[in-house]
Amino acid sequence: MWRFLGRRFVQMLITLLLFQAVTYFLIDAQPGDIADLLTLDPNIPPAERERLRAQLGLDRPPAERFITYIGNFYRGNLGVSFQEYPRPVIDIIKERLPRTVVLFLTASILSFWTGFVTGKILAWRRGGWIEYASTITGVTLYTVFTPWFALMMIWLFAVALNWLPAGKFLDPLKWLDAPISANAVFARMIWSSFFALVIVFVGFWFSNRVPRRQRLVLRAASLLVPLVGMLLYWRLSGLGFYAWDIARHLILPVLTVTLIAYGGTMLLTRTSMLETLREDYVLTARAKGLPDKVVRDKHVARNALLPVWTGLVFSLGNSVSGGIITETIFSWPGIGLTLLNSALVADIPVAMGTLTVVGVMTLISHLIADIGYAFLDPRIRYH
Which of residues 203 and 334 has its CB atom nearest to another protein in the complex? 334
Which of residues 123 and 351 has its CB atom nearest to another protein in the complex? 351
Smallest distance, another protein to C-beta of residue 192, A: 31
Which of residues 155 and 205 has its CB atom nearest to another protein in the complex? 155
Which of residues 11 and 214 has its CB atom nearest to another protein in the complex? 11
Which of residues 304 and 325 has its CB atom nearest to another protein in the complex? 325
| Long-range contact set of residues 192-199: C-beta below 8 Å, sequence gap at least 24 | 192/230, 192/233, 192/234, 193/230, 195/226, 196/226, 196/227, 196/229, 196/230, 197/226, 199/225, 199/226, 199/229
Which of residues 134 and 222 has its CB atom nearest to another protein in the complex? 134
Smallest distance, another protein to C-beta of residue 219, A: 39
Which of residues 203 and 353 has its CB atom nearest to another protein in the complex? 353
Cα torsion 173, 179, 184, 189: sign: negative
Which of residues 148 and 241 has its CB atom nearest to another protein in the complex? 148
Residue 131 CB burial class (10 angstroms; 0-12, 13-18, ≥19) = middle
Write the secondary structure of 217-275 as one string of H (helix), E (strand) and C (coil): HHHHHHHHHHHHHHHHHHHHHCCHHHHHHHHHHHHHHHHHHHHHHHHHHHHHHHHHHHH
The closest of 69, 76, 100 to 349, measured between CA atoms, is: 69
Smallest distance, another protein to C-beta of residue 336, A: 8
Sequential DSSP letters for 317-342: HHHHHHHHHHHHHTT--SHHHHHHHH
Which of residues 10 and 26 has its CB atom nearest to another protein in the complex? 26
Which of residues 78 and 185 has its CB atom nearest to another protein in the complex? 78
Whole-angstrom distance, CA of residue 221 vs CA of residue 199? 10
Q: Which residues bind another protein (CB under 8 A)?
A: 15, 18-19, 22-23, 26-27, 30-31, 135, 139-140, 142-148, 151, 154-155, 159-160, 166, 275, 317-318, 320-322, 324-325, 328, 336, 339-340, 343-344, 346, 351, 354-355, 358-359, 362-363, 366
Whole-angstrom distance, CA of residue 190 vs CA of residue 212? 33
Alpha-helical segments (H) within the chain: 2-28, 34-38, 46-56, 62-74, 89-124, 128-143, 146-154, 182-207, 212-237, 240-277, 280-287, 292-294, 302-329, 335-344, 348-376
Sequential DSSP letters for 338-363: HHHHHHHTT-HHHHHHHHHHHHHHHH
Smallest distance, another protein to C-beta of residue 27, A: 7
Smallest distance, another protein to C-beta of residue 362, A: 5
Smallest distance, another protein to C-beta of residue 132, A: 9
- The answer to whether 349 touches 33, Cβ cutoff 8 Å, is no
Three-class SS state of 80? strand
- The answer to whether 179 touches 190, Cβ cutoff 8 Å, is no
